[in-house]
Amino acid sequence: MIWATDNPLSKKWPLYTRGNVGEVFPEVVLPFTWDLYGLEAERGWRDAYTRMGLVADGDFPPDEDMIILGVFGGYCYINASYVRILGVRAPGGQVEVIDKQFFGESDAPPYVERPGDKNLKATAKLGKLVFKLLGTKALPDLEDDKRRVAAWVGQFPGENAPDDDLLDYIVGFKPLFRHLFARHIENTFGVALVSGALSDLLVKIDGEDLLVSILGGIGDVESAAPSAAMWDLAHSSHHPDSDEWQAEFQKFLDKFGSRGPNEWDIAAEPWAHRPELALAAIDRMRNADASHDPLAQAERLASERAQAVAEARGKLNPVDRLMFDKALRATTVYSQGRERSKTTIIRAIQSARRAQRVLGARAGERGGAANPIDSCLLTTDEFKHYLTTPTDYLTTIAERRELHEKLSNKIPPFIIEGDIPDLDEWEDRGAAAESLAAGTEIQGIAGCPGIAEGKAVVVLDPADPRDLGPGDVLIAPITDPSWTPLFLAAEAVVVDVGATMSHAVIVSRELGIPCVVSATDATRTIPDGAKISVDGNTGKVTLIELP
């Protein structure tokens, strides 16, 4: 138990991974955040799995509150042991497919079947669920959730409200978060199930390579909307110093200000708090030519998608063709829904963040930490007492700030099985790695179709995109919403980690940028300035020439 948020590993389900969750919580998760809704995320996830029919008796030991999620050494992990069960219990499911969808390439040990993993009752329920999902044409519940969040945001007590009212507002977020997160999980695994059916049909016609194009440019993906809006700002007819442009930028912040780096953490500073991050991305887009325009790319992707769909349908028999049409429609709907449910959660978090900041600033005026964000180093219970006697917690905050810095300078193990390695065994960030030689290939996972060549620009912080621009290939460690606007400034994107359902893949497919994820250690082994080629169709990255 290294960090204040840490919990024991599950004894029954001992395999954990940073895959997928590393995009949601890329940094050390702060105590206030995890104490507020870490357990609610676990409960919401279990709610979703139960409604799906995945859960079997005995899956969750009563003495383990946290199983599906965990925090070790301050970093959030997903229980790969249990997520893999979807590949075991779903009709026709495969563990390897689940790994690729959610976790990407990793050194995770192969799945070994254990007593109780297979469950006929769960398989029957999941079979019925898949049949139901394939008939989905719309997700009206997501619009209800938007209205529910808008109502909750509207209940914000006001920045002049008493401490107790603001604190009650924050704590009152717990049941709403559980509800919203359960919906998000249902949409996420809905995508996995229906896209699995789509993949199975393509396998029948040896058309697996068509899948990337079929899922590109589906439209109405809310995670891609901020990048498209930034493009419009970068190519506005108004000068950036003009009142007109500033008014346009303010509209952007009003609409997308809750997005940004590490946006799931209460302590994060999204674009509304740090507009310079958005401005840096917009500046990098200004030199990109019209071929990078999201509208032009959308037209190209739609055309390629239509061709791929027509090719697949032409090879399928009439019965399979009908099933293909249903699976394609459902995959599109649930892919859009997954991103929409995420956006809804982020908007709600921003309102809780606003209340926390007001209280943190008040405590600072009473002798507490000068930076309101530092108060997120406390649990919610500690924070409640901190508001009354802030000086009593200055030592605790200082000690946790020091430990937070130490943990932040470590690379958490991507896979944990059974035991957490001692902190001294964790690799230091910035540790040197041997550069690749010319002609070397890295095999990652295909994210978005297309082939590009360019100069590798290794970017480790989205706030500092360096000179990224036309002719460059962005090499990034991981991507959350603060990274993806940089895609539009580059010819292609290569990411160290990620899977077919990662944020980088979803957004690149909407923006039409060739993308390869799960290119292990690309940021450390591809020399900055090297000439490389990226094949977003096959997932292959080739080092052509050293700088």
Across residues 455-468, what is the average pLDDT?
91
Residue-level pLDDT at 483:
85
**Alpha-carbon gap, residue 343 to 462, rounded angstroms:** 20
- For 185-243, what is each residue's pLDDT tens digit? 999 999 999 999 999 999 999 998 898 889 888 988 898 999 999 999 999 999 999 99
Q: What is the pLDDT of residue 482?
A: 82
In sequence order, which residues have a C-beta less than 8 Å from that of residue 22 and are 6 or more positions away?
A: 76, 478, 497
Look up residue 62 and give its DSSP letter: T
Q: Residue 57: CB partners within 8 Å, gap ≥ 6? A: none
Helices 275-285 + 243-256 axis angle, to 10: 120
- In three-state form (DSSP H/G/I as H, E/B as E, the rest C), the secondary structure along 228-274 is HHHHHHHCCCCCCCCHHHHHHHHHHHHHHCCCCCCCCCCCCCCCCCC
- Bridge partner residues of 498 (DSSP): none
Q: Which pLDDT score, from 0 to 100, does residue 498 have? A: 84
pLDDT of 124-146, one tens digit each?
A: 999 999 999 999 999 999 999 99
From CA 264, how far away is CA 131, in angstroms rounded? Answer: 33
pLDDT of residue 23: 85
Confidence band, pLDDT 50/70/90 cuts, at residue 539: very high
Q: What is the pLDDT of residues 238-296, one digit of tens each?
A: 999 999 999 999 999 999 999 999 999 999 999 999 999 999 999 999 989 888 999 88
The two beta strands, 492-495 and 472-476, are: parallel
Q: How far apart are CA 304 and CA 300, in angstroms?
A: 6
Q: Who contacts 154 (Cβ-Cβ below 8 Å, separation ≥6)?
A: none
User: CB-hemisphere CA count at 13 Å for 513?
Assistant: 33
pTM score of the predicted model: 0.94
Tens digits of residue pLDDT in 6-52: 999 999 999 999 988 888 999 999 999 999 999 999 999 999 999 99
Query: Cα separation of 542 and 547, whole Å?
Result: 14
Q: How do the domains of the chain map onto residue ranges?
A: 15-205+316-388, 441-545
Give the mean pLDDT of the chain. Answer: 93
What would the DSSP string read from start to end of 84-103? Answer: THHHHHSTT--HHHHHHHHT
Side chain identity at 290, as an amino acid letter? A
Q: Which two tokens stand for residue 163?
A: 């401490």
Residue 499 is predicted with a pLDDT of 84
Q: What pLDDT does residue 183 have?
A: 97
- In words, the CATH class of domain 441-545 is alpha beta
The pLDDT, as a whole number, for residue 340 is 95
Q: Residues 366-409: pLDDT tens digits? A: 999 999 999 999 999 999 999 999 999 999 999 999 999 999 99
Calculate what percentage of the chain has a pLDDT beyond 90: 79
pLDDT for position 108: 86
